[in-house]
Structure 1
Amino acid sequence: MPLTDPSGGTCSIARTITALGDRWSLLVLRESALGTTRFSDFRSRLGIASDVLTDRLQALVDRGVLERTAYQEEGSRTRTEYRLTEAGREFQVVLGALGTWGREHLPSERDTGVQWRDAAGRPVRVAFVDEDGRVLQPDEVAVSRR
């Protein structure tokens, strides 16, 4: 059942958490953003049980964040790769915000997180930007209900 807001509706944040917010789904999406496409590679990079990974991949496909593509190496049976859809690529901004927040507020001496860069290789950051293109500071942003 979706998380509800006090007015009895479901807000977009609650829907997103319900659909994508568990630990394994977020880590599968991180790995996918890094270029991982094959089941065995997800399993080995994440140390996740096969049944849990199967469930998460299916859920992410069902939600339109990943898509399945068949591939076949010579002499082998047909297998499946998982690639980000447009919605999955757009979700990278959320992963970027989570990573930035974690680096700033949960520092680690051995940070093995990911970094996002532009086409020229320069680091990018997630920010609130107004309709004129001005980057806003957190204290310049108000949150309200619709």
Structure 2
Amino acid sequence: MEWLDVSTENCPVQRSLDLVGEKWTLLILRDAASGVRRFDDFRRHIGVSEAVLSDRLRKLTAAGILATVAYREPGSRSRNAYRLTRKGWDLWPVLVALRQWGETYAPDPEGPVLDMRHTGCGAPVRVVVECAEEHDALTPRQVTARPGPGARRRE
């Protein structure tokens, strides 16, 4: 079976995009990974409307990507802070890859907004695809992709 013969109805990329493929969602995840926790901080930093932010936070929480943690400032009502779950943190390499791509193909003339470096040695951080056996970085030409057991014939 060739790729064009495979149905995309159960494609994991499509399912992932259904959860996190909206611009505001990815920006919320970027900020959550950078330590933003509170609704008003997300709204101010990203510049998203309250309605859109509420909707995206609700969807991310329902999907188990964010978890809510109640907090209360003195004299105020109880509110929710948002924290990435393990499932949410597993999206971090995707965010780093998007940053890496953006710095290469849509750079800011003044330079990167974030300088991400390995804490241990100070080297720049980058995302690569590697072989699970040999741990070598791979190019697309070094990878063979075939339909897997979940592939369905396109009708």
Q: Provide, for residues 50-77 of structure 1, a one-character-per-residue CA deviation record: whole Å limited to 9, x for no partner.
A: 0100000000001111000001122322
Aligned ranges for residues 34-49 of structure 1 at < 5 Å?
34-49=34-49
Q: Provide, for residues 17-56 of structure 1, a one-character-per-residue CA deviation record: whole Å limited to 9, x for no partner.
A: 1111000000000000110000000000011100100000
Single out whichever of 108-117 and 71-80 deviates more from structure 2: 108-117
Distance 2:101 2:80 in 1: 34
Gaps of 5+ in 2: 149-155
Match of 1:124 in 2: 125
Gaps of 5+ in 1: none
| Local SS of the residue matching 1:135 | coil
Are residues 1:139 and 2:141 paired?
Answer: yes
Distance 1:116 1:58 in 2: 30
In structure 2, relative to structure 1, the CA distance for the partners of 1:56 and 1:16 (3 Å cut) is same
Single out whichever of 105-114 and 40-49 deviates more from structure 2: 105-114
| Percent of paired sites with the same residue | 38
TM superposition outliers: structure 1 runs of 4+ over 4 Å: none
Larger Rg: 2
Query: TM-score when scaled to structure 1?
Result: 0.86
Match of 2:151 in 1: none
Give the total of aligned pairs: 142
RMSD: 2.0
